[in-house]
Structure formats: C-alpha cells, structure tokens
Amino acid sequence: MRIGLFLKYLDEEYQSSVYAGVREAARRLGIQLVCVQGETFEHCRDPGATLFPALAFLRLDGILLLSSIIVDQANPPPSPPAGLEGRRIVSIGAELFGWPSVLVDAAEAFDRLLDHLIEDHGYRSFLYLGGPATNADSREREFSVLARIDRERARGLPCSVTVMRGDLFSESAGVRMAREYLAGHASRDVDAIVAGSDDIALGARKFLRAAREPLWADCPITGFDDIPHARFARPGLTTVRQPLAELGAASVGALARMSRGEAVPRRTLIPAAFVRRASCGCPDAIDPAPARPGSDVLREQFLRDAGYLAQSLMAATDRGGIVGPLEEFLSSVEVPRIFLIAFSRPLATMPDEATLLHARGECPSRAGDRVALAPFFESVLTSLDSGFAGVLIHLRAAEGEIGLLYYEAEDDVHPFMSLCASFLSAALARLNLLEDERTRALELEREVLRISDLERFRFSVDLHDDICQSLAAMMMVAESLGGDDPRARMLAAMAADTLERTRRYARDSFPVDIDAVSLADSLRALVEAMDGQGGCSFRFVMTGDGPEPFSRAERVNLYRIAQEALQNVSRHSRAREAVVSLSLADAESVLRVGDDGQGDPAIDSRAERNAGPRPDRSRGRRPRGIGLKSMEYRSRQIGASFAVSSSAGGGTSVEVRVPRGRIVK
C-alpha cells in the first residue's frame, strides 16, 4: 500500500511533527509514504490550475490532507475539487467535505493552563497574542481566553485581557506584536502573556529580553503546541501539548482501516495535554530537556551551507550551473537520493514528461534525459528505501509549475531541503526569464542578419543588372571608336577592368547562385576568386562523403562566415597560405578557415574563457571587432558552435561546428 501526505512545507514544527507521526505509523504498518510539499487548496482557485497535480503521475492508494494548513479556514472551497472523487481521503486537523477527520481536542487542556495562571499564580491581567483572525484554531483559542475571563469576572475576580492578532503563527509575528505593545506600555501593566502558539511566545520573549526593560524581561509567558524549541528553551515554556505525532499516526490507522473496508468514524478526537514548565513563573517546574547534542552547531552549519547555495544559484547563467552548487549542498546535508526535474517553461498543469536535470542515488534514468513522469516515479517509489519516506516538492513561479524536487533523507534535513527548494524555484524562474531574453535576442539577431543579407542581395542585383550593364555598354562604345586612337583603347581597357571589378563586388556581396549549387562549390568558387589577394595563396579542401545536410540558411551563413574570415586573412594576417576546409561527418559538419600568418592573441576565444589576465591589447593588436562578432552571431543563428584560436606568429583558425540533424530554415 502506498499513501501520500499533502502539506505546505516541512520547514516548521507543526507540519514536521505531524509528518513524523505519519511516517512512524506507515513504517510500522509496512505502508509506503510519499510526502508532497508545496500544495494548498488555494491553487484550485487560479484559472486553469490543477489541484494536487502530483496525483497525475503518483499511484496512491490513499491520501492524507493536512487540512489545518493547506485550507483557508475563513474561505474554504465549497466542494471537493475535481480529481479527488472516489479516493480514500483522511483530513488532518480540520473537518472537510464530510471526509473522515482526525482532530485535536484542546479545550480541556487549554482551560487547565488558564486555570493554573489564574488560580495557582493569582494572575488577573493578561495580554493575549493570537494568530490570524481567519484561522479556525486561532479563533477558538481566543474565544477560550475571552470566555474564561468573562467567567472569572462573573464570580467577582477583577480579571482583564488585551487581545492582539498576528498574521501568522510565527516568531516574527510574536516579535512584531510585542514591539507594538511595548511602544505604548513601557511600564508593565499585565501579569502574564498568553500566546496562541509556541512560536509566537518564543518570538515575544526574545523581543522582551532584548528590549532591556527590567519590568518586562521576566514577564511570565505561555504558549501552545509544545514544539521541540519549547522543551529546549530556558526556562522551558509552559504550554499545551498538541498530540501532533499521535494525530499523524491516527490518520494513517484510519486510512489503513478504510483500505480494508472497515468503517471509520467521521470525527476522531485526540486529547491535548497541559505541560507545566518554568516560563509561567513556577519555581519548582521541571527543568527543560537538554538540547540535542550538537543540534545548534549542526543547524548553523546547514544554514551557512544554504546561504552558499543561494549565492551560487544566483550566479548561475544556465541550468547546468545549478548542478554543481546543488550537489555540494546535498553532500553537506547528507541527502542520499534526490532527483531534480525541470520543465521547459512555466505550466498551469503537470506535463506528461520533463527533463531530469540532476540525479543522485539509484535512478532509472540519466541526468539530461527526458523522462515520462508516471513510469519514472513508479520506478523510483518501487525502490524506495524502507527507512525513509519519499518527499516531493513542487517548484513554482508566479507563472506556474516549473519543476519537481524529489528526495529521501533524515528528518532533521527537511527544513533545509524546503529552503533549498525555494532557492531552486527562484533560480529556475530566473533562468527561464534569461532564456526568454536570449531567445528574443537571437530572433532579433536573425532578423538583423536577414535584412543585411536582403540588402546585400539587392545591392548585388543592382550592380549586376544596372552598373555592370552600363559599363559593358561603355566598353563596347569605346572599342567601336578605338581603331588607332590610343585614348579610345585606354578608355575601353579602363571600362573592361572596372566591369570585371564591379562583377566581382556583386559576386562577393551576395552569391546569387547559392540556391543552385552546393556549399562546397560556392566555397571553392570563393577561394578561387580570392586566391592571390594580399599576397596569400588560398586553397579549399573537402572531406566526407554523401550529400550535404545543410539548409539554405546554413549555406548562406556558413558562406558568409568563410567570406568574412578570408577577407580578414587578406587584409590583416600577412599570411603566405590559407586553407578553407569543409568536413562532413555523421555527428557534425565542420567549417574551418586557417592561415599561417602573424596571429593575434587578442582575438583568441580560448583566452577570453580563461580565468587569468586578459590579453594585452596595447601594442597595436586589434580587439575583437564587428567581423568576428558577425561570424559568431551567424553561428548562433544556425545552432553551431564558434571558436577562434590565434597566437603570435602561429596563425589564426576560425572553426564552426554544425550538429547534424539540426535544420534551420
């Protein structure tokens, strides 16, 4: 049996504690567990979005929903979203759609906490720091405090309470509320603080101690949840212990009974417990539990590693640049198995297949492969180590789904992997935008070159059909007037020479026969026409059999690259010989133009890739100019690689490699 636990993120104690209970119960019952992070019911409100898209490729026999986290209690969906019909579902922490629900009954334990503060300590005035007003648990806890104060007033006790609400059950919310209250109450005017969660209580206490207000520094305070930090804090935090692990375990048991066809009650209540420690002012309270050995050091190291990961991912210029920093981070946090899957673009719905960007551990595919998601994850989960749960995190950007992160690891790693997932989401979203910009730049370059070629063609046609015809007519008139007149013969010779040079300019400007002959024939004609220019001998070499694989765009751009390279040789190289070679092979075709001239290290593309100092350009050497940039642009237009190698006295070589099977129109 395989079940899925759907929640937001395993980056805080409430969700990770429920997960721990689910995982232990699943392990004990021999049930495979997949924990899916990054999902809320709010996603189904977006047009075109699919709720729980992982269900499209995960084969699950039952579903656990941490509804207290993934459902907005103030604005719940009116009906079960499409895709959940007919499935075995148990809701954890909140009742939803009549599904079997496992809930915490905290009323009695919370009343015992208030009774302890009022009866045992004699406190009468309170500051209540609650959670979001829209949260059902927050409203219930606030109501319990107000109702208890009303009862005490009814029996004659002068009790009072001031209520403040935070936007989250978080330490930052506790800090903010404490700061706001102290801004108007420098002198302490309450006997104790009651917080709606341990995180809020711990945040408020941190601020009060840092505020250096003696009257507030030791103000009694209580929490709610009994997270591990509440137990390890000094003094230990008096609180209400939510049985979160028991909540998770009971939900697995309910799902297992449903799979056997047994009846399951609609509501299963797990009682909470009052936990007395020293933060409420009890001098005889039990000492806090000792901190886990090395836990603080380990946490600080993980946070540093996460910081390095974030910095490295921000420096990545392509998807390949993600892999190295990610692998270093995974080694640090000791994640034995992980798969990073990236989508080609942000999507509203889950694709059938995607690219496996990185893999660590046993994997049915290789990194870089396109994988069909359903069979890929079925294979992955079939080999799931019984000592772990599989964790799947949706990677999202504002535009939609951009990838998936799957891993298996020890429990103390989950918060850091949640942080890692958020960094990866941001990096992939940024790289998608960068790739879009590159695509637009490539399209612009292609359009500029197309217009340039069109203008060259028009210029060539104008020269051939207009100027050349006029020069031919001038030559014929001069020849007819020639006879013994030396001036007429000179005029005829000048016209013939000008006509020949103009025809060459027209041919060099645009090879009008590029559509009629092969690239090899065009290059051979180009070499023959330029042979001897600049005192250099030009040769053409052809290797490889079979028909040329080039499209028209490839023929035009490769011809232009060779033409530009030969003109550079003629004008700048002082070479004795230059060779144009065209090689056809199964994997790729290679165009190379090399000479034996003086060379120029300033244009060597290998030097630009080195981490050392840039070449010295202060001694009359030319920097990379428009010609080289034009050749590089043209190479990109046809999906080819471009490289220039050059050294002082060693000549220059321009090389273009065109992959086979890539057709550019």
pLDDT value, residue 149: 95
Contact call for residues 31 and 251 (beta carbons, < 8 A): no
pLDDT value, residue 573: 86
| Tokens encoding 237 | 């935090």
| Residues paired with 634 in a beta bridge | none
Contact call for residues 114 and 148 (beta carbons, < 8 A): yes
Is the Cα dihedral 272, 274, 279, 285 positive or negative?
negative
- State how far the Cα of 445 lies from the Cα of 607, in Å rounded to an integer: 25
Give, to the nearest 10 degrees, the angle between helix 414-462 and helix 320-333.
170
Listed in order, strand segments (DSSP E) in 27-165 are 32-37, 62-65, 89-92, 101-105, 125-130, 160-165
User: Scanning the structure block, which residue is given the tokens 């009814």?
Assistant: 154
Contact call for residues 128 and 165 (beta carbons, < 8 A): no
The b/e string for 376-395 (b: 16+ C-beta within 10 A; e otherwise) is bbeebbeebeeebbbbbbbb
Contact call for residues 37 and 7 (beta carbons, < 8 A): yes
pLDDT value, residue 615: 43
Mean pLDDT in residue range 442-466: 67
Question: pLDDT tens digits for 17-30?
Answer: 899 999 999 999 99
Question: pLDDT tens digits for 23-64?
Answer: 999 999 999 999 999 877 765 455 555 678 888 888 999 999
Q: Of the candidates 17, 438, 455, 41, which has an alpha carbon nearest to the alpha carbon of residue 249?
A: 17
Residues of the chain with pLDDT > 90: what percent? 37
Contacts of 298 (CB under 8 A, 6+ apart): 412
The b/e string for 597-630 (b: 16+ C-beta within 10 A; e otherwise) is bbbbbbbbbebeeeeeeebeeeeebeebeebbeb
With bands split at pLDDT 50, 70 and 90, how would you rate the model's confidence at 621? Answer: very low
Contact call for residues 29 and 257 (beta carbons, < 8 A): no
pLDDT value, residue 611: 40
pLDDT above 60: residue 543 = yes
- State how far the Cα of 182 lies from the Cα of 208, in Å rounded to an integer: 9
Is the Cα dihedral 375, 378, 380, 382 positive or negative?
negative
pLDDT value, residue 620: 40
pLDDT value, residue 619: 41
201: number of Cβ within 10 Å: 29
Helix (H) or strand (E) holding 663: none
Contact call for residues 151 and 218 (beta carbons, < 8 A): no
Helix (H) or strand (E) holding 221: strand 221-222
Q: Which has the higher per-residue pLDDT, 124 or 73?
A: 124
pLDDT above 80: residue 390 = yes
Phi/psi class of residue 238: alpha, beta or left (left: φ > 0; alpha: ψ in -120 to 50)?
A: beta
DSSP string, 312-346: HHHH-SSTHHHHHHHHHHHHHHT--EEEEEEEEEE
CATH number belonging to domain 518-665: 3.30.565.10
pLDDT above 80: residue 7 = yes
Contact call for residues 198 and 17 (beta carbons, < 8 A): no
User: Scanning the structure block, which residue is given the tokens 């799931």?
Assistant: 384
pLDDT above 80: residue 482 = no
Question: pLDDT tens digits for 212-235?
Answer: 778 888 899 999 999 878 888 888
Amino acid at 263: A
154: number of Cβ within 10 Å: 9
pLDDT above 50: residue 570 = yes
DSSP string, 494-541: HHHHHHHHHHHHHHHH--TTTTTS-HHHHHHHHHHHHTTGGG-EEEEE
How far does Cα 435 stand from its chain's mean position?
13
pLDDT value, residue 279: 93
- The pTM of this model reads 0.65
- The residue extents of the domains of the chain are 105-248+264-280, 518-665
CA distances from 627 to 175, 313, 388, 650 (A): 62, 35, 59, 20
pLDDT above 70: residue 625 = no
CATH 3.40.50.2300 for the 105-248+264-280 domain, yes or no:
yes
Mean pLDDT in residue range 273-285: 88
User: Scanning the structure block, which residue is given the tokens 């449903």?
Assistant: 258
pLDDT above 80: residue 379 = yes
Three-class secondary structure of residue 580 per DSSP: strand
CA distances from 60 to 35, 140, 254, 387 (A): 11, 34, 16, 19
Amino acid at 113: L
CA distances from 312 to 218, 336, 432, 438 (A): 43, 21, 17, 21
Q: Which of 45-59, 240-254, 564-578 is predicted least confidently?
A: 45-59
Q: Of the candidates 74, 136, 73, which has an alpha carbon nearest to the alpha carbon of residue 106?
A: 136
pLDDT above 70: residue 357 = yes
- State how far the Cα of 284 lies from the Cα of 222, in Å rounded to an integer: 16
| Tokens encoding 112 | 């015992």
pLDDT above 80: residue 424 = yes
Dihedral angle computed from the Cα positions of residues 438, 439, 440 and 441, in that order, rounded to the nearest 10 degrees: 50
| Tokens encoding 575 | 């070479």
With bands split at pLDDT 50, 70 and 90, how would you rate the model's confidence at 542? Answer: very high
Residue 76: cis peptide before it, omega within 30 degrees of 0 = no
How far does Cα 624 stand from its chain's mean position?
35
With bands split at pLDDT 50, 70 and 90, how would you rate the model's confidence at 299? Answer: low
